[in-house]
A = this chain, B = another copy of it.
Amino acid sequence: MRTKDTIKQDALFEATIKLVNEIGFAASSVSKIAKEAKISPATIYVYHKNKEELLVSTYVQIKKNMGHTIHEYFDDSLPLRDILKSVWYKFFDYIAIHPEYFQYTEQFANSPYQALVNKEEVEKYFDPVIHVFYRGIEQKIIKDVSFDILMAFFLHPIVALSNPRLCQDFEPNNKNIESAFTLAWDAIKL
């Protein structure tokens, strides 16, 4: 029967995220995760090769989900600034709806486990947005600087502002998100 499996797998996914967010990566042992998911530690090894693979696959699953959500209703035909503004909002929306997912990815990205991720696989979930920036450069709407620099002023500010540890005073309401976008756009636009 498949149903049972899926229930256990989902419980494991959520338990992993919950525990890592609560007590951190280092303290999240296999048996604690198992207890949180209400399964036996041994059962984890039915679904995952080892602890490492459990944590990595949890990360990739979140990133996949995030990529899909960001691109919902993605309309390539709009003016470039409008596309990016929509993406900008989508990111904040996603984090507002799934703060625990975002928190997990942040913790994960700074753990030794991030080295084990297949980066291409994750990146491809964000291909459409990425492409927008390259088009903006071609169309001389966006500054002709390296992609890393553009991300440092578009993606990383989002990440920083959404991280309560870094930005305790930033409240992610429409007004603040809008005014932050102004800075992002001023930064990257030609």
Contact = CB atoms under 8 A, between A and B. Distances in A.
Nearest to A40: B1
This chain's copy number in the assembly: 4
Contact of A161 (B24, B25, B152): B152
A147 interface: yes
A159 B167 CA distance: 15
Nearest to A157: B152
25 contacts: A24-B111, A24-B112, A26-B111, A106-B110, A143-B179, A145-B179, A148-B166, A148-B168, A148-B170, A149-B176, A149-B180, A149-B183, A152-B157, A152-B160, A152-B167, A152-B180, A152-B183, A153-B153, A153-B183, A153-B184, A156-B157, A156-B159, A156-B166, A183-B188, A186-B187
Interface of A: 1, 23-27, 40, 42, 106-107, 109-112, 114, 143, 145-149, 151-153, 156-157, 159-161, 165-170, 176, 179-180, 182-184, 186-189
